[in-house]
């Protein structure tokens, strides 16, 4: 996979461990394998949710990882990343020493600490996301996915099914080819696990997103889908085996023409492509700020604009 990514023209490879599932010695194996397959810089991004992230970083760096993602201590740990200051101290005096000044890092932390306290006091930051939950490793459930699942069960008056759903999630993920537990696939896996438990029969009820994953619309997964589950969900439909985006008609020229009246910069085409429902209103508002004309009061047929 590393060789294929390099041949596609990538400048680096990032291991994205959004659920905090990568444990230290597995990180060693993974980084060493990637290093053996490519000359590209290897970056690792993980979360402290399960409590092993700092150790994972240590072993990954020793194995040859070039870049690690960290956070300043007031907003580190928990569902965030390991603390920058801790990792700097860990590598101090070694060949991996980044050379950062702990005094200056302390000043940065001091700046953010009151902001952390404000966020905690206002409820913007929950203390629940600042701790460690080893069940993340047991059930492969990242924090955001867990909170959504709890909410779903509560709405269904089925909170007593919590542990059954936790046990079902890894099974569903395996059926889905070990898809990554990051939005949106994490929510799709979680919702399907809830439906499997509540209905009393696995895949008796499925969402359109579940069907989309098993149709290949979300792309290639690490491992093959469970063929029995795939057949049960999509029936005789022919799944996509190529890159799904390759099946789309080129739309850039159409988008460019659609925003020609409003375009000031190339990014406006992307704005329209991503947010077509609201982009034009934004373009009109922006034009009004420049021309000092309120388009909502304009007679566009007579081309009369009150000033």
Nearest CA to 175 out of 219, 225, 134, 130 is that of 225
- Residue 176 included in any domain: yes
The tally of domains found in the chain comes to 3
Residue numbers of the domain that contains 258: 252-297
Three-state SS letters, 178-244: CCCCCCCHHHHHHHHHHHHHHHCCCCCCCCHHHHHHHCCCCCCCCCCCCHHHHHHHHCCCCCCCCCH
Residues 126 and 10 grouped into a single domain? yes
Radius of gyration of the chain (CA): 24
In CATH, what number is assigned to the domain containing residue 217?
1.10.472.90
CA–CA separation, 100 and 253 (whole Å): 47
Residues 21 and 57 grouped into a single domain? yes
Residues 157 and 199 grouped into a single domain? yes
pLDDT at 147: 67
Residues 262 and 231 grouped into a single domain? no
pLDDT (tens digit per residue) in 167-181: 899 899 999 999 988
CA-based angle 279:281:286, to the nearest 5?
95
Residues 91 and 168 grouped into a single domain? no
pLDDT (tens digit per residue) in 249-283: 999 999 999 999 889 999 999 999 999 989 999 99
Please identify, among 81, 110, 130, the residue that sits at the C-terminal boundary of a domain: 130
Phi and psi angles of residue 67, each rounded to the nearest 5 degrees, phi first: -140, 135
Residue 11 per-residue DSSP state: S
CA–CA separation, 94 and 199 (whole Å): 56
Scored b (16 or more CB within 10 A) or e, 71-81 reads bbbbbbbbbbb
Residues 235 and 263 grouped into a single domain? no
Residues 71 and 97 grouped into a single domain? yes
* Token reading at 132: 């460690």
Please identify, among 110, 130, 150, the residue that sits at the C-terminal boundary of a domain: 130
For the chain, 307 residues long, give each residue's pLDDT as a single digit of tens: 899 999 999 999 999 998 888 999 999 999 999 999 999 999 999 999 889 999 999 999 999 999 999 999 999 998 899 999 999 999 999 999 999 999 999 999 999 999 999 998 988 887 877 888 787 787 777 766 776 777 788 888 888 888 898 889 989 999 999 998 888 888 899 899 999 999 999 999 999 999 999 999 999 888 999 999 999 999 999 999 888 888 889 999 999 999 998 899 999 999 999 999 899 999 988 988 887 777 667 776 777 766 6
Residues 241 and 256 grouped into a single domain? no
- Residue 226 included in any domain: yes
Bridge partner list, 293: none
**Largest pairwise CA distance in the chain:** 75
Residues 122 and 158 grouped into a single domain? no
Residues 233 and 261 grouped into a single domain? no
CA–CA separation, 21 and 62 (whole Å): 19
CA–CA separation, 124 and 116 (whole Å): 9
CA–CA separation, 245 and 264 (whole Å): 28
Please identify, among 74, 109, 130, the residue that sits at the C-terminal boundary of a domain: 130
- Residue 53 included in any domain: yes
């Amino acid at each position: 996979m590393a060789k294929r990514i390099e041949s596609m023209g990538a400048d680096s490879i990032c291991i994205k461990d959004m659920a905090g599932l990568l444990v230290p010695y597995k990180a060693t194996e993974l980084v060493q394998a990637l290093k053996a397959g490519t000359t590209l810089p290897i970056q690792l991004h993980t979360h402290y949710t399960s409590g092993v992230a700092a150790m994972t970083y240590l072993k990954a760096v020793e194995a040859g990882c070039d870049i690690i993602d960290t956070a300043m201590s007031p907003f580190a740990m928990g569902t965030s990343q390991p603390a920058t200051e801790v990792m700097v101290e860990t590598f101090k005096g070694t060949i991996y020493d980044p050379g950062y000044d702990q005094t200056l890092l302390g000043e940065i932390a001091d700046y953010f600490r009151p902001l952390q306290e404000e966020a905690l006091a206002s409820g913007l930051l929950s203390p629940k996301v600042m701790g460690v939950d080893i069940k993340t490793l047991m059930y492969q459930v990242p924090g955001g996915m867990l909170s959504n699942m709890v909410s779903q069960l509560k709405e269904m008056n089925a909170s007593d099914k919590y542990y059954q759903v936790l046990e079902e999630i890894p099974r569903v993920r395996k059926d889905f080819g070990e898809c990554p537990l990051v939005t949106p696939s994490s929510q799709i896996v979680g919702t399907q696990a809830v439906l499997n438990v509540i209905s009393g029969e696995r895949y008796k009820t499925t969402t359109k997103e579940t069907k989309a994953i098993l149709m290949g619309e979300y792309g290639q997964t690490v491992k093959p889908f469970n063929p029995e589950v795939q057949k049960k969900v999509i029936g005789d439909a022919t799944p996509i085996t190529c890159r799904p985006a390759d099946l789309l008609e080129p739309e850039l020229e159409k988008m460019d023409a659609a925003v020609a009246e409003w375009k000031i910069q190339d990014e406006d085409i992307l704005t329209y492509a991503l947010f077509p429902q609201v982009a034009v209103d934004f373009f009109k508002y922006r034009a009004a700020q420049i021309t000092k004309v309120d388009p909502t009061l304009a007679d566009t047929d007579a081309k009369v604009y009150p000033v």
